[in-house]
Structure 1
């Protein structure tokens, strides 16, 4: 069983709820190492899925200013960081926070640079792995993604968490019906879904709890029920952080 803490945000956080810090504060609270010189956690933003969009990085830096010792890992600009030992840099963080965008592009570039293996080592060493949307999908074996246009299954995740994942379960009109259909037909294995404003906290590979930044944000286990193509959406208890 994989050791460590992973936080999968279906939606929310600084990029979607800039005036609601509850989910991001909860992620910070899980960082127990506190490696920063001033006692604040070191949090590294990884915007690979967005093509290292500078505006995304700027929003992260502004949102976490004063709450953490911040940095970013921009693989599209890695030539500018040729003096950086990628493994040492990642292992020296308290939290790796992965942004949204293309899950497929994220996975391809991480593997090209060996970041996938480094992240496995990091989580087992106590670094909290967190992410939203593509940054949720990437930790699982499979997911539903719009990386190729229309929503489709992706069976190429890192596999740190078993089964499949679906972010934005209530936030995008086609997410819920598409994910349920993919599980029903066997195109995706059973898994978990999270609304915008909801995060799933995993410890040592098992779901520990679900938390939310707004009342009513939900999470579900989506799985086959009985014979045929019947799918159950079993609610997961969610703790509102407000």
Structure 2
């Protein structure tokens, strides 16, 4: 019977189960995330090489004129050294770690989740998936509020493959796409995109892409060549947030 149970466990029948329970479900990038991972033995004893928790999200990339959605683990946390889980035994493993600063905000189509797994040789590794909410940090919230006050309406939020210059920092960036719905910039832009790239815990690089509206034949040619797009780069610290709205107004106005 023991041999039969081991055979079943090797194909995922009656093997150990894993369940991660979080102390909270909403976070800001950079905050500590904590909880406990419970492992319950199956029909036979199994050797577990490790328990791992990975932070996942998805992003879009283009290749050969096609779009693909990739899942990416932006962080991996190992909980333990190898151990044996006996038949029906229950073990609990507390954990805590800091969410990466590049963890995207769960707005629009963006989703973030924890994937917990057991690494068991010669068996189907059991797993557990937990969705989490990521709220805007102080920089993103200040940028969203400033944009809204200037008459911009948030139209889309998604993660896309990072520009080549930033791929050493992150494989993707999160883009916040706005339209000028009211205020001084109404009718002057097709869209404006904000991208926030962390430069440590106390600085953020804000990239702004301004896409001007087409006016006349010359502008049509400019649009075809992407010459109607302009880029603004800012480095922000906490001290800059109180004046961010006026600074954005001044910078964006240069391209209106």
TM-score (norm 1): 0.24
Which is richer in helix?
1
Which is richer in strand?
2
TM-score (norm 2): 0.23
> Which structure would you say has the larger RCO, counting Cα contacts within 8 Å and 6 or more residues apart?
1
